[in-house]
Amino acid sequence: MYILEKKKLKQVLSAWTEHFDVYVPQKVESYTQFLPFNATKPLELGNPHNTRFPPKAHFLPQSETMLKYNSRLGRFEDLRLTPEPRLLFGARPCDASAVALMDTVFLAEDYNDPYWLARRKATVIVGLGCNTPPHTCFCTTVGGSPFNQAGLDALLTDLGDFFSVQVLTEKAQELFDDLPPATEEQISQVNHVQKKAYESMAPAFETKGLKHKLDLIFESSYWEKIAESCLGCGVCTFLCPTCFCFDIVDEGQRQERIRNWDTCMFRIYTQEASGHNPRPSNKERTRQRLMHKYSYWLDHVGEIGCTGCGRCVRYCPVGLDIRAMLRAASKQESEVVHA
């Protein structure tokens, strides 16, 4: 563990830009997002909330070219799949955990997405733990913590005038070799801050048996009830760090094949060529969103597909709260049909 003085932070970040494209949280209007480091602009590391867009956008862009055809030469053009080395500084642990979860989708045993893989290999993630988790967050409920280490190369803890730095991978080791080591007293302070943050978060809902309960109420009228308020705008999924639905389109004029973010909350997402849609209303689409996170992810990789970042709670325009929805789902009576 090392010590990084805050007054030297911009100097350190500037030095890193010689070897990396460095991205840091910065203020944009009323929210924050990861932007290229600029020494003349203030960093937004004290904001307890996550950036509005999760870091997944740096690995799965909102829109990316997958193929490009040159009709004049009659051949496909080579696309650069090896980006410049990048460093994301100040990512929250829930967002880094989400990137690790997304690896199970894009870096599966029988399939590796070359675009995702190239960006993952080129990126170092330096996280910043949450001393005071916002009330919309619930990472501890889904198996994480305000100082979770999954998906991170290094983890910072805010200790007032300085950060402690826990180096977690070899990729990050050389970044902090020149920093002074933490004292025993400082390490004790780190442990106290992290323990206090974890204990400050009360369980948002019960996860034990939740998957089984959701499976039992698949045909329940409950889904229709909670979907009445949903606008189907897709904010919850576009801002979710673990949602990965996408659409692939061929742009004739640009002669490119493009991958764009999509969402299961849109009607057109599941509409088939025949015109049939297995999820014709908000009822089925709302059910899909919750079932995917808290049932289907468990079927596929044995983990809940939500890291408790709270974005869907904070940004829903009609105030739908996934925590309340899951608490209510747990109380629903399921109809058991005997053969």
Mean pLDDT throughout 86-101? Answer: 97
| pLDDT at 253 exceeding the cut of 90 | no
124: closest CA among 1, 41, 18, 21?
A: 21
Mean pLDDT throughout 5-33? Answer: 94
CA dihedral (38, 43, 44, 50) in degrees, to 10, reads 50
CA-based end-to-end distance of the chain: 61
Band of residue 335 on the pLDDT scale cut at 50, 70, 90: low
Q: Is the dihedral of CA 131, 136, 140, 142 positive or negative?
A: negative
Q: How far is CA 329 from each of CA 3, 169, 242, 243, 296, rounded to the nearest angstrom?
A: 46, 40, 22, 21, 16
Band of residue 339 on the pLDDT scale cut at 50, 70, 90: very low
Query: In this predicted model, what pLDDT tens digit does every residue of 140-175 receive, in sequence order?
Result: 999 999 999 999 999 999 999 999 999 999 999 999
Say what the pLDDT of residue 72 is. 85
- 98: enclosing H helix or E strand: helix 93-106
Q: What is the residue whose two structure tokens read 């330096």?
A: 126
What is the reported pTM? 0.92
The region of weakest confidence among 196-205, 300-309, 312-321, 325-334 is 325-334
Tokens coding 314: 């904070």
| pLDDT at 29 exceeding the cut of 90 | no
Say what the pLDDT of residue 81 is. 79
Mean pLDDT throughout 68-72? Answer: 88
Q: Distance between CA atoms of 237 and 265, rounded to whole angstroms? A: 8
Contact 71, 254 (CB under 8 A): no
Amino acid at 244: F
